[in-house]
Amino acid sequence: MMETAFAIVVGFLFAFSVYLLLSGSLIRLVLGIFVLGNATHLLIFVAGRLTREQPPLIPAAMKVAEPGFANPLPQALILTAIVISFSLFAFLLVLAYRAYQTLGTVDTDDMRDAEPAPGPARLRGRDV
Amino acid sequence: MSEPVIADSAAWLVVWPVLLPILAASLAVAAWGHGRAQALIGILGVAAQFFSAVLLFAHVWSNGPVVMSMGGWPVPFGIALVADVFGAGLTVAASLVALVIIVYSLGDTSEQYRRAGFFPLVLALIAGVAGAFLTGDIFNLYVWFEVTLISSFGLIVLGGRREQIDGAVKYAFLNLLATTFLLIAIGLLYGMTGTLSMADLSTKVAALPNDATLETVALLFLVSLGMKAALFPLYFWLPAAYHTPLPAVSAIFAALLTKVGVYSLVRVFLVVFPEGADLARETMVWAALATMVLGALGALAESDIRRFVSFTVVSGVGVMVAGLAIGTDKALLGAIFYIVHSIIISAALFMAAGLVSRAGAGSDIENLSGLYKGAPFLAVAFLLAGLSLIGIPPFAGFWPKVYLVQAGLEAGAYALVAGVLTAGFLTMLAVGRTFALVFWRAAPDDAPLPASGAQQGGGLVLKGALGALTFLTIALGLYPAPVVDVSTRAASELLSPQPYIDVVLGEAGNGESRP
């Protein structure tokens, strides 16, 4: 039951991030990447099953824990992924700001500094 | 309580190629602001890594795969570094070319770049690449991808010119998207199997029904790793970014980063999904075909010499993935040989393109002319590297294509054979056009004279590095037997991964029995 609810939330977050990522504004792209990362973390969280109030501890007399506990490994994976995505998100924010300072725009359609200059001999689509 | 598994001394070999560059990177950070000291640490660090990689490879060659469980936690609970012939062989190749590129960078980086942390970033990148080649755990592979990604972000914006920022935006967003997809695929795979060790996954995935869920995960792997490897239709970030940073940075990106993507595709589709996932395999065939032909067409149409090299890198990725898509042992032999060839030749061509920009005025193929007069060595090296790229017989690029075409004809993959040959033909036109325009045609009378050797700056180091790689590609072309032997064995190990699985999971048997 909980898994279904979470699956819907994850699906909604993915849809939302795809919507943001399809935009041409750098700020929305940064936010889209951020939401996508969080959706992924929740997805992995759900993949480890959701069970409350049953710690994954192995009793002294047993070799394995009693079945039914939530798998703690995905939570460790998410912790790693959160740290990585947080640092990369910080980099993207700085990069977006620097791009705005240097290139004077946040519209990805106007970012053509690294593309070949549209000379008279090779007209490109947007210049015709 | 079980005794911690203490690896024998041979297992330590697998740690050094990853650990040495990390140690060197930390030392280089400690020497912040001292350009000369950092350069020395950089060269010594990569040289030591090359030495350790050769030792590791020699051990793997004579004794089979080496496994080292990190922290003594047995597989599949802990993370293991695993070196087989494929991973160790590529580590040697990558490390050797990285050493040459570091030497090249001595003539290429000014004090300003060194102050900004060029050497620590390059060392971290090399550590990440070695980690990806040597890990036996799929989540750990994701972490190494992030290590290379973070260092490459730093390297691509180093200098902060306008077009670098522009290229970095595209590079950063699309590569971050790709690693997020990789994380999704890994998370779903863990949800299905409950394990992350590639050896353990291999047996557990085989037991799963070959249904839509498995297919989805396989396609997610194809999309994310294909984006890393620059596979059609996900390669557009590469020619948009690779020509913007320093030539030495472009060279190291082109030599190593796409190859890590191709390596992971091979690993995932041969070890983790040894069979099944038919839709992903079918897609791979067409993606490979489109990549090699469109990459070569892009190279032919390009007017910037460094973007021209970027497109040839893309085309090469198509050829490697074609070998994986055909999937017979001969095709894989060709693909693995081509990875080694491409590591060398991508670096050589970017180095040559960097020297062209130094010797001439700018990097526009249509404006450059007559460089043969001022820079004959560069012209010859560029031509030889270009011929090897096309796959002309006495050079290293010829052999992998022979094996690929043979394997394709035997397996009935005629579309891919036609693609490899067409891409080779188009590449020949593109290389010929670039050589003729930049080096061969006479300079117009009013053109500025090509800069003399001294003005080209750092001349001897840059030319020496380019010459070394050109020599390497000729040497491997004239005497390909060692690479063929290594690739043959790597291919057969990948196609029957049972010994690899036994060795990795055997580590677990030393401790308490698994639940």
A115 contacts in chain B (CB < 8 Å): 240
Which of B166, B170, B181, B306 is the mutation pick for testing A, counting most A CBs within 10 A? B166
CA nearest neighbour of A43 among B215, B138, B184, B223: B184
Q: Model confidence over B31-70: pLDDT tens digits? A: 888 888 888 999 999 999 999 999 999 999 998 888 888 8
User: How many angstroms separate the Cα of B139 from the Cα of each of A40, A97, A122, B200?
Assistant: 14, 31, 46, 13
CA distance B251 to chain A (A): 17
Check B169 against A71: CB less than 8 A apart.
no
Domain ranges across chain A: 1-52+70-106
Check B139 against A111: CB less than 8 A apart.
no
CB atoms within 10 A of CB A116: 15
The confidence score (pLDDT) of residue B509 equals: 44
Q: How far apart are CA B117 and CA B99, in angstroms?
A: 18
- B400 neighbors B321 (Cβ within 8 angstroms): no
Q: How far apart are CA B60 and CA B68, in angstroms?
A: 13
Close Cβ partners of B9 (under 8 Å, ≥ 6 residues apart):
none
- B33 neighbors B23 (Cβ within 8 angstroms): no
- A84 neighbors B146 (Cβ within 8 angstroms): yes
Q: Residue A101 burial (CB < 10 Å; 0-12/13-18/19+)?
A: exposed
Task: Flag whether pLDDT at B296 surpasses 90.
Answer: yes
CATH of domain A1-52+70-106: 1.10.287
Q: How many residues does chain A have?
A: 128
Note the pTM of the prediction, 2 decimals. 0.91
B149 contacts in chain A (CB < 8 Å): 88
Which residue in A73, A88, A98 is closest to B150 by CB distance?
Answer: A88
Check B153 against A91: CB less than 8 A apart.
yes
* ipTM value for the complex: 0.88
Check B240 against A73: CB less than 8 A apart.
no
CB atoms within 10 A of CB B401: 22
Phi (first) and psi of residue A14, to 5 degrees: -60, -45
How would residue B512 be classed by pLDDT, with cut points 50, 70 and 90? very low
Task: Flag whether pLDDT at B124 surpasses 60.
Answer: yes
Task: Flag whether pLDDT at A111 surpasses 90.
Answer: no
Task: Flag whether pLDDT at A93 surpasses 70.
Answer: yes
Q: What dihedral angle (degrees, nearest 10) is formed by the CA atoms of B114, B115, B118, B119?
A: 80
Check B169 against A99: CB less than 8 A apart.
yes
CA A89 from chain center: how many Å?
Answer: 9
User: How many angstroms separate the Cα of A39 from the Cα of each of A70, A125, B178, B192?
Assistant: 19, 36, 15, 18
CA B232 from chain center: how many Å?
Answer: 17
Q: How far apart are CA B24 and CA B22, in angstroms?
A: 5
Q: Model confidence over B327-357: pLDDT tens digits? A: 899 999 999 999 999 999 999 999 999 888 8
Check B150 against A114: CB less than 8 A apart.
no
How would residue A41 be classed by pLDDT, with cut points 50, 70 and 90? very high
Strand segments (E) across B107-164: none
Which of A95, A107, A123 is the mutation pick for testing B, counting most B CBs within 10 A? A95
Check B169 against A63: CB less than 8 A apart.
no
CA nearest neighbour of B146 among B172, B169, B128, B171: B128
Which residue in A71, A95, A122 is closest to B168 by CB distance?
Answer: A95
- B130 neighbors B151 (Cβ within 8 angstroms): no
Domain ranges across chain B: 278-496
